[in-house]
Structure 1
Amino acid sequence: MAVPVTMTEILRTIPSEEQLGFGTIFTNHMFVMDYETGKGWHSARIVPYEEFEASPSNMTLHYGQAIFEGIKAFRTEDNRIVVFRVNDYLNRFNRSADHLCIPRINVEEVKAGLFQLLETEKDWVPHKRGTSLYIRPFIIATDPYVGVKVSDTYRLFIILSPVGAYYAAGFNPVSIKVEDKYVRATPGGLGEAKTPANYAMSLRAQVEAKKEGFTQVLWLDAIHRKYIEEVGTMNILFKINGEVITPALNGSILSGITRRTVLEVLRDWGINAVERQISIEEVYEAHAKGTLEEVFGSGTAAVISPVGELSWKGHKITINNNQTGKLAQRLFDYITGLQQGGESDKFGWVETVTKG
């Protein structure tokens, strides 16, 4: 699929790789596609990154019918531009679309448009280890209508942002508050969809946790208030007595692609990795017994994020002396090695976009 390209007349300055944070700098161009009932997805194009107009009665602004994804492109050691598990991410995009009654995309068509956008913006893919080009596809409803219904028109965008580490602490262990007052999601709701409302629900607890000195919030289930679900920006895993445990997907937990990657890698390494219900009491009991060996998060943005402290109802525990665990380090090194060409891709997860 050849996508028409309108080149920008004003080029932005590519930032120094030493100055990269996360999600604040954007490239010169973006991919756009429209949808209309009876016509389907149409008019794919690459245009300058710029502001766009929206009606004050735009349905997304009033009723939140929107979804997004987060993918990454990398520059490998041999200067190729590659993407990691892109089909898995775009298929999850479609699952989120189903939750919000948004028309599904043709994965191969959008992927082709994304690859053309990456080819156009290849100079923006940073070289330094630990950096990447963050890919943000999103869809919004565009009907100008103040009334609760499914929109008849939508617009899909893909924007790109060169990024460094997600957390300011980098790969150092983070401190997490176990939330026991607020709830994020319930089975049958939006918890397993990447939609703005899902994340808006987490903000109040996150703000309060940061005021108390914590990096993130760990959510418990909404019914019993004791079973662990996920962190606000990543899935969570516990290494207890040699076994890695992560909460089973239950309809209110995001099915993380990095989570899936970690589980598949661990099983390939012969490490027992299970998905099951796990309570916060079990984690604290394991710590008291000395069998809680490591805790770490997994997500596209941070890849692997070791957890050094958990605090639940004012009771703080320290994991592995607040040091990065050996397994978390091994996973981080291996997955980032896959992504940036230092490890052989035995799983077929990496696709080359361009040779740089």
Structure 2
Amino acid sequence: MKNTTSQTVEIHKAKTSKIDQVDFENLTFGKIFTDHMFVCDYVDGKWQTPKITPYGPMSFDPSARVFHYGQAVFEGMKAYKDDNGDVFLFRPDENYNRINKSAERLAMPEFPEHYFFEGLTTLLQLDNDWIKPGYGNSLYIRPFVIATQPSVSASEANEYRFIIICSPAQAYYSGDVSVLIEEKYSRSANGGFGYAKAAGNYAGQFYPTKLAKEKGYQQIIWTDANTHEYLEEAGTMNVFFRIGDKLITAPVSDRILDGVTRKSLIALAEKQGYDIEVRPIKVEEIIAAAKNGNLNEIFGAGTAAVISPVKAFGYKGEHYELPKQDNPYAAHFKKALMDIQYNKAEDTFGWRYKV
């Protein structure tokens, strides 16, 4: 194994690559991982020398606090390769800032910016061949932090590990989805950490989503924990509603994730002159719009799926089909966003980050 060092990152290259074993035409999201991963430990009150090592299993003490008290946060990012072979990230500063915001809420240490960007770009350069060109192809990037201190005492840990792994990806969702508006369970509450990308937020969604799937729906639209009167997120995505020609999405709060795709779509819509409102949305408003024919679209927005159109929704035992649109906003904004990500359109916002 050949070991090298970049400016601050120690590099241990894999002896051989497993890329030839991968069918890139038939990928299942999040199942295949690249040859290398980034690892950095927090010990004695500081982050140690970051390393890039061959991707593989890691060993942890059974009493590592992540297993007992759930100190774990993560991010979702993508790398894109254009037709010239250049690789780009999309607004990585937002992901860096958000993972530290999430970490702070769970009493975890902030990760240094220069470690994050040098480690990430070095990792992508090493595994460049895993980033396939072509519209829809990407490399999904998962930075995450876990508490590794061996102890079952109920307090924040003093040892952590920051890791980045990468997985080649195609489309996350195939086709339009049906969603169920949640009446009982909550994703998050006031004063909680719904705004953080904490592992526990997602674990708590699985059971209500399982119940929704048993009723024939793929995802849930979450409502507020206090009254279940206001719509907040769709599954693991932010959600947009089109009533007439007005696009509406809920404001972020300590319950709602400040999604990178969400804020990018809002900026695109405003720049292109669309009528868009960021405000609380009542369930009864959406039901009324569906009944009178004014509800034209619902779609989720997130890094993995980009935009996921909703074809129908359920609420209180009633099922509502959405009308087919000749020029759906979902398709327009997905193309506009992806054109920027894949370097097919001018980036007037300065969102692309060349690796």
Q: TM over 0.5: same fold?
A: yes
Alpha carbons 1:124, 1:133 under 8 Å: kept: yes
Name the amino acid aligned to 2:68: H
User: 1:110 maps to which residue?
Assistant: 116
Aligned to 2:227: 224
Q: Calculate percent identity across the aligned residue pairs.
A: 39
Q: What CA distance in whole angstroms lies between the structure 2 residues aligned with 1:17 and 1:152? A: 40
Shift of residue 42, structure 1, vs aligned partner: 1.7
Q: Which residue of 1 aligns with 2:196?
A: 193
1:25 aligned partner, one-letter code: I
- Provide, for residues 153-203 of structure 1, a one-character-per-residue CA deviation record: whole Å limited to 9, x for no partner: 111000000011111x2xx32111111121111011121111111001100
- The gaps in structure 2 that reach 5 residues or longer are 1-6
Secondary structure of the structure 2 residue equivalent to 1:17: coil
**Aligned partners of 2:36, 2:309: CA distance in 1, in Å?**
35
Match of 2:293 in 1: 290
Corresponding position of 1:213: 216
- Give the length in aligned residue pairs: 348
Q: Which 4+ stretches in 1 moved above 6 angstroms?
A: none
Residues 55-113 of structure 1: CA deviation (Å, up to 9, x unaligned):
01110000001100000001112211111000111101111011101101122321111
Q: Quick one: which of 175, 179, 182 aligns to 1:179?
A: 182
Alignment correspondent of 1:245: 248
Aligned to 1:57: 63
Segment of structure 1 superposing worse, 199-208 or 285-294: 285-294
Q: What is the distance in 2 between the residues matched to 1:28 and 1:329?
A: 34
Q: State the AA in 1 paired with 2:100.
A: N
1:312-334 CA-partner distances (Å, limit 9, x unpaired)? 1111111123x685211110111
Secondary structure of 1:187's match? coil
Question: What is the CA distance between 1:262 and its match in structure 2?
Answer: 0.4
- CA distance in structure 1 between the partners assigned to 2:242 and 2:228 by the alignment: 22
- Which residue number corresponds to residue 351 of structure 1? 353
Distance in 2, matches of 1:94 and 1:265, equals 26
Instruction: Please list the CA deviations of residues 92-136 of structure 1 after superposition, one character each: whole Å capped at 9, or x if unmatched.
Output: 111101110110112232111100000000000012311110000
What does the per-residue CA deviation read over 1:209-255, in whole Å, with 9 as the maximum and x for residues that have no partner? 12222111111111011100101210000111221110111210111
Superposition map of 1:94-173 within 5 A: 94-167=100-173, 169=174, 172-173=175-176
The amino acid that maps onto 2:35 is N
Q: TM-score, normalised by structure 1?
A: 0.95
Match 1:337 to one of 315, 336, 339: 339
Q: 2:210 is aligned with what amino acid?
A: V
Residue 258, structure 1, aligned to residue 264, structure 2: no
Are the counterparts in 2 of residues 173 and 324 from structure 1 also a CA contact under 8 Å?
A: no
Residue pairs, 1:304-343, within 5 angstroms: 304-321=307-324, 326-343=328-345
Partners of 1:248 and 1:276 within 8 A in 2: yes
TM-score (norm 2): 0.95
Corresponding residue of 2:302: 299
Corresponding residue to 2:84 among 78, 83, 87: 78
**Is 1:30 matched up with 2:33?**
no
